[in-house]
Chains A and B, each alone.
Chain A
Amino acid sequence: MIRHKPKVVWIQAITCNGNTHSLLSSNYSRFELFLNSFDFFYHPSLTTQNSLEDVFSLKEIDFLLIEGAISSNKEFYSISNNDTLSLLEKLANKSKYIICVGSCASYGGVHAKFEENKQIKGVSDYLISWNLEKIKHPIINLTGCPVHPEWILQTLFSLKQRETIALDENKRPKEIYYGLAHHGCTRNEYFEWKVEAKSFGVKEGCLFYEQGCRAPMTHSNCNRILWNDVNSKTRAGMPCIGCTEFDFPRNNMLETKKNIGIPMDVPLGINKRAYLTLTGVAKTFKIDRLNKKLIE
């Protein structure tokens, strides 16, 4: 357990600010607990007390949180005359924990798709060969576009308490990303019996076959740790677009890619032949209850 109030520094690289917005939407009492338990030393959009210069003069940073993708090219982005790579260079060497907040910091995200600048990458892509002096833990990726605020807080509290956290093969905390966004969706019964939603935004039907829902192939806990404590995309009738996976953003995200009517991707870990047999059979049942409006 880390006894002192750990210093948290949040820097922004090439980003839309979405993860900052997300952090500010966190559960009120959780955020208050965070502010009481950590020394939130610097955030470019929030703190007025400390400047980036103050951060540079710190000897040690407990938690370095990075939002946004990294590029060595000053033309594209710089803060106080630092391109994002040299900013990272200056701070990474002082940090005990490095946490990539969001998909852009984790692997470049949407910015890495910008073909004019091949230098835009995730934090680990740049740091991989560096000898980080103070680092106590492998770099952690919190993927998501944006990340759920609770994923940030939970990771920080876990590390403060236990100093280490189990990671999956994409360096994401297992405790957050072990399951699929599909788990806990209120539409699971429709998924089982292959009853499709007729449009976006309705309560009835599953969004898998017609609307492109990626939740059965997406590691996240959106349907268990709800957004704003109340809802998730799929609960509200918007398909999961797989924002926590490394192939995000894909093309045609609201479509299910099909070949002659057969979905190209099937839920993770299921053999396609078996899946097609099961669904072929499930589709032949007409369950009246599932074909009616939930509230008439």
Chain B
Amino acid sequence: MSAKELKKNNIIENALKLFSKKGFYNTTIPDIAKAMKMSVGNMYNYFASKEELAKYAIKYSTNILANQLKEINHKQISSKEKIFLFTKQYLENVKNSPEVIEYFLRVYLSNREVFAQGCEGFLCVSEFVTEVMILLDEGAQSGEFREQEFFTAFSMIMGCLGGFAFLSGEKVLDKDLIEYSNSISENIYRALKSDKA
């Protein structure tokens, strides 16, 4: 990665924290610059606008998930095990760097107008969606998962995981997040599995 790329990622990591804490509109470029101990002028050398930064940030944060799931997809294990592994990793992400998942829930999903141009549909999250497709496709091919429509299967996984990240962010859970891992995985798996599996 070039020095400029590294710096960009660094800015994003700081911006994610601010966005998820204060919201997209309440966070300004000077706020981010301040957190970075950079001049505002210098910030604009990396991102031309807050919108551009927001789009870059959604690619950055979903690519973290995409890479984790890709690695899991490459393992020679059953689809059930893949779901258990991914759920666990996801919850660890939520625990260790909540800003990444929160950004997705609180900014990407709630401020759609920011992403309307240049991030249409799957454009900025496509690598992650592809990995979910591969997970589902291979599970169905091996007969472990039953036939259903892609979007219903997709939302069984993401709805469940997103919902839990939300509950965690609201601090309403009584146990440590990771302790829910097995029962969440079990729920997701049961929603997808074929009757014969």
Residues of A near any B CB (own CB < 8 A): 259-262, 264, 272-273, 276-277, 280-281, 283-285
Nearest CB in chain B: distance from A285 CB, A: 7
Q: How many residues of B contact A (CB 8 A)?
A: 22
Q: In the complex, which residues 116-167 of chain B have their Cβ closer than 8 Å to any Cβ of chain A?
A: 120-123, 126-127, 129-130, 133-134, 136-137, 139-141, 145, 147-151, 153
Residues of B near any A CB (own CB < 8 A): 120-123, 126-127, 129-130, 133-134, 136-137, 139-141, 145, 147-151, 153
Do A280 and B149 contact each other (CB < 8 Å), given the known contacts A259-B136, A259-B137, A260-B140?
no
Q: Are A277 and B141 in contact (CB under 8 A)?
A: no
Q: Are A280 and B137 in contact (CB under 8 A)?
A: no
Q: For A273, what are the chain B residues with a Cβ–Cβ distance below 8 Å?
A: 130, 134
Q: Which of B122, B150, B151 contacts A281 (CB 8 A)?
A: B122
Q: For B141, what are the chain A residues with a Cβ–Cβ distance below 8 Å?
A: 259, 264
Q: Are B150 and A262 in contact (CB under 8 A)?
A: yes
9 contacts between A and B (CB under 8 A): A259-B141, A260-B140, A260-B149, A262-B133, A262-B150, A272-B134, A272-B137, A273-B134, A276-B130
Q: Are A260 and B153 in contact (CB under 8 A)?
A: yes
Give the interface centre of B122, B130, B147 by most chain A CB atoms within 10 Å: B130
Q: For A276, what are the chain B residues with a Cβ–Cβ distance below 8 Å?
A: 130, 133-134
Q: For A281, what are the chain B residues with a Cβ–Cβ distance below 8 Å?
A: 121-123, 126
Q: Are B134 and A260 in contact (CB under 8 A)?
A: no
In angstroms, Cα B183 to Cα A27, docked, is 69
Nearest CB in chain A: distance from B19 CB, A: 24
Q: For A284, what are the chain B residues with a Cβ–Cβ distance below 8 Å?
A: 120-123
Nearest CB in chain B: distance from A263 CB, A: 9
Q: Are B123 and A260 in contact (CB under 8 A)?
A: no
Nearest CB in chain A: distance from B73 CB, A: 9
In angstroms, Cα B134 to Cα A273, docked, is 7
> Closest residue to B142 on the A side, CB-wise?
A259
Nearest CB in chain A: distance from B146 CB, A: 9
> Closest residue to B131 on the A side, CB-wise?
A273
Q: Are A260 and B137 in contact (CB under 8 A)?
A: yes
Q: Are A259 and B140 in contact (CB under 8 A)?
A: yes
In angstroms, Cα B112 to Cα A26, docked, is 58
> Closest residue to B119 on the A side, CB-wise?
A284
Q: Are B153 and A280 in contact (CB under 8 A)?
A: no
Q: For B127, what are the chain A residues with a Cβ–Cβ distance below 8 Å?
A: 277
Q: For A280, what are the chain B residues with a Cβ–Cβ distance below 8 Å?
A: 121-122, 126, 129-130, 133
Nearest CB in chain B: distance from A197 CB, A: 20
In angstroms, Cα B123 to Cα A167, docked, is 42
Q: Are A277 and B150 in contact (CB under 8 A)?
A: no
Q: Which 9 A-B pairs have the closest CB atoms?
A: A284-B121, A261-B150, A259-B140, A260-B136, A262-B137, A277-B130, A280-B122, A276-B130, A260-B140
Q: Are A260 and B130 in contact (CB under 8 A)?
A: no
Q: Are B122 and A262 in contact (CB under 8 A)?
A: no
In angstroms, Cα B119 to Cα A284, docked, is 10
> Closest residue to B140 on the A side, CB-wise?
A259
Do A277 and B137 contact each other (CB < 8 Å), given the known contacts A260-B145, A261-B149, A262-B150?
no
Nearest CB in chain A: distance from B26 CB, A: 29
Q: For A260, what are the chain B residues with a Cβ–Cβ distance below 8 Å?
A: 136-137, 139-140, 145, 147-150, 153
In angstroms, Cα B137 to Cα A264, docked, is 8
Q: For B120, what are the chain A residues with a Cβ–Cβ distance below 8 Å?
A: 284-285
Q: For B126, what are the chain A residues with a Cβ–Cβ distance below 8 Å?
A: 277, 280-281
> Closest residue to A274 on the B side, CB-wise?
B130
Extra 4 A-B pairs, beta carbons < 8 Å, given A262-B133, A264-B141? A260-B140, A272-B137, A277-B127, A284-B120
Nearest CB in chain B: distance from A129 CB, A: 38
In angstroms, Cα B154 to Cα A130, docked, is 57
In angstroms, Cα B121 to Cα A283, docked, is 8
Nearest CB in chain A: distance from B11 CB, A: 26
Q: For A272, what are the chain B residues with a Cβ–Cβ distance below 8 Å?
A: 134, 137
